[in-house]
Structure 1
Amino acid sequence: MLDDTLDGRAARLNQRYRHHAATEVLRRAVNDPDLGRVALVSSFGAESVVLLHMVSVAAPGLPVLFIDTQMLFPETLEYQREVSARLGLTNVQVIRASDEQVALHDPHGTLHKTDADACCNFRKTLPLEQALSGYDAWITGRKRFQNGERAALEFFEPEPPLRLRVNPLAHWRPEDVQEYMIENNLPRHPLVAKGYPSIGCAPCTSPVKPGEDPRAGRWRGSEKSECGIHFIGGRMVRGKVPA
């Protein structure tokens, strides 16, 4: 009997695509009935342009969900507009917390200083969860070389209770990312040249020194390493929004 649980579907998809390259995983997966309705979630960060380019070639009308936390670098917002236009992406959807939510939970814009998890939760995790409610799967740019919880990443993974996650670049090396950008003449995020290999919100992202982990500039000085939209130990991390 066909195992139609999330774990079963993920295992079946990983078996089906185990010998495929990233571009083929993406191209075929967006039409695979085992995935259903699919969207790409993109931060338009340092390496995002790789997947965005792949989508522009394979399925330019695929929904691209861009979370504007309203605390992003101005350079990221401009880069999002530039890349979307250049690649001809026709279905970019900007996702953000409502003005009412901001007024309720962070009226002074200082929550990130006292509870970064709660800030990420209401500005990023909850708006994305609402946006993804109409989809069966979403595509991420996570890769094994990013270490930590990502070291054993597969192409497909379950996200209980309802969705699957697709990681076409899971097996890529850092040099693969750079080579793809060069070969396809893709525009770089302007902050990369200023020492930001991993780019999040402006207050919580700092430049990285030579020899440091690429994500060392995210929430520097704290134990926090993920914003909450990705698994930690197999579970979604959700900070508590203050009442």
Structure 2
Amino acid sequence: MNLLNTLSNPGPLEDPEISPEGPRSTAALPAEVAEHNAALVDKYADELYEADATTILTWAAEHVQGRIAVTLSMENTVLAELSARHLPDADFLFLDTGYHFAETLEVAREVDQRYPQNLVTALPLLSRRDQDHVYGPNLYRSNPTACCRMRKVEPLAVSLSPYAGWVTGLRRADGPTRAQAPSLSLDATGRLKISPIITWSLEDTTDFIEDNHLIEHPLTHQGYPSIGCETCTLPVAEGQDPRAGRWAGNAKTECGLHS
């Protein structure tokens, strides 16, 4: 795909099912690391299924062979705090889709200032403007799955290449698609996927934030219990599924990072 030519001479739009040229996948793990990861899941996944966050992260610090990335959506900073305590050598990884709320970017800046961990920012191949030129304006409306793939799934995949495992903020209480999610599993590349707050409720999360005086995302106090891109996130009514405001009016319920 010749992006420069496309931008200077707009023509037929590209198929959004075909991502732009460039790195889009995760590098293969060394065989011995992949084998070790698989053995860990076989041995410990059941044991850790209902474990608390401290137990899971202490286990990760002891057993993971290689670097760990802690993925932060900046919806809250619980994982940053827990990882600073239990995984001080892990990197923080933030997906900057180009469509975030300004408040989300401000939380990311505050996290970078507060914690000593290295904050890695993953970016999509195309800017918002370039994506509009290549695939048509507002792809998040016409094909939200393709937009998420190009701006979230593929950038995360590339950014995970140096790591043996990654920490996620998945909670079973977030909705039916996550109700049976494990705390420890393998992703499609053989990397460990570690979810230390998997058993937490939204109330548990709120209490931890308040008790530990964490950085707070202001929109969580304005009816946004789950925060993604500004273009695809609406506030929800009290008592609704916390993720009901994500891709509202669309059958889509997941961006693809955890499916």
- What's the TM-score bracket when you normalise by the shorter of the two chains? 0.7 to 0.9
Give the counterpart of 1:176 among 193, 204, 207: 204
Structure 1 CA distance for aligned equivalents of residues 193 and 224 of structure 2: 26
Corresponding position of 1:238: none
Give the counterpart of 2:176 among 148, 155, 162: 148
Helix, strand or coil for the counterpart of 2:238? coil
Deviations 1:41-62 (A, max 9, x none): 11111xx311110112223341
The 8 Å contact of residues 30 and 38 in structure 1, kept in 2 or not, is answered as no
Decide whether aligned partners of structure 1 residues 7 and 59 sit closer, same or farther in structure 2, where only a CA change above 3 A counts.
closer
Structure having the higher Rg: 2
Q: Which runs of 5+ in 1 are unaligned?
A: 232-243
Helix, strand or coil for the counterpart of 1:212? coil
Asked if 1:90 corresponds to 2:113, the answer is no
Amino acid at match of 1:39: A
Give the counterpart of 2:93 among 65, 81, 90: 65
Deviations 1:150-177 (A, max 9, x none): 1112210121232121011111223221
Asked if 1:11 corresponds to 2:11, the answer is no
1:5: how far off? 7.4
Say what the alpha-carbon RMSD is for the aligned residues.
Answer: 2.2
Corresponding position of 2:159: 131
Decide whether aligned partners of structure 1 residues 82 and 162 sit closer, same or farther in structure 2, where only a CA change above 3 A counts.
same
Asked if 1:196 corresponds to 2:256, the answer is no
The 8 Å contact of residues 61 and 89 in structure 1, kept in 2 or not, is answered as no
1:215: how far off? 0.6
Q: Which runs of 5+ in 2 are unaligned?
A: 1-33
The 8 Å contact of residues 48 and 184 in structure 2, kept in 1 or not, is answered as no
1:102: how far off? 5.3
Corresponding position of 1:224: 252
Deviations 1:172-219 (A, max 9, x none): 223221221121111210111111111000010011112221111000
Count of aligned pairs: 224
The 8 Å contact of residues 14 and 156 in structure 1, kept in 2 or not, is answered as yes
Structure 2 CA distance for aligned equivalents of residues 90 and 7 of structure 1: 27
Helix, strand or coil for the counterpart of 2:166? strand
Helix, strand or coil for the counterpart of 1:81? helix
Corresponding position of 1:237: none
1:39: how far off? 0.7
Name whichever of 90-99 and 66-75 sits farther off: 90-99
Give the counterpart of 1:106 among 118, 124, 132: 132
The 8 Å contact of residues 98 and 128 in structure 2, kept in 1 or not, is answered as no
Corresponding position of 1:235: none
Corresponding position of 2:53: 22
Structure 2 CA distance for aligned equivalents of residues 6 and 31 of structure 1: 13
Structure 1 CA distance for aligned equivalents of residues 189 and 163 of structure 2: 13
The 8 Å contact of residues 64 and 93 in structure 1, kept in 2 or not, is answered as yes
Structure 1 CA distance for aligned equivalents of residues 189 and 129 of structure 2: 30
Decide whether aligned partners of structure 1 residues 135 and 182 sit closer, same or farther in structure 2, where only a CA change above 3 A counts.
same
The 8 Å contact of residues 44 and 76 in structure 1, kept in 2 or not, is answered as yes
Amino acid at match of 2:132: D
Give the counterpart of 1:41 among 39, 59, 71: 71
Asked if 1:163 corresponds to 2:163, the answer is no
What is the TM-score with the length of structure 1 in the denominator? 0.84
1:228: how far off? 0.9
Structure 1 CA distance for aligned equivalents of residues 246 and 116 of structure 2: 28
Corresponding position of 1:241: none
Name whichever of 67-76 and 146-155 sits farther off: 146-155
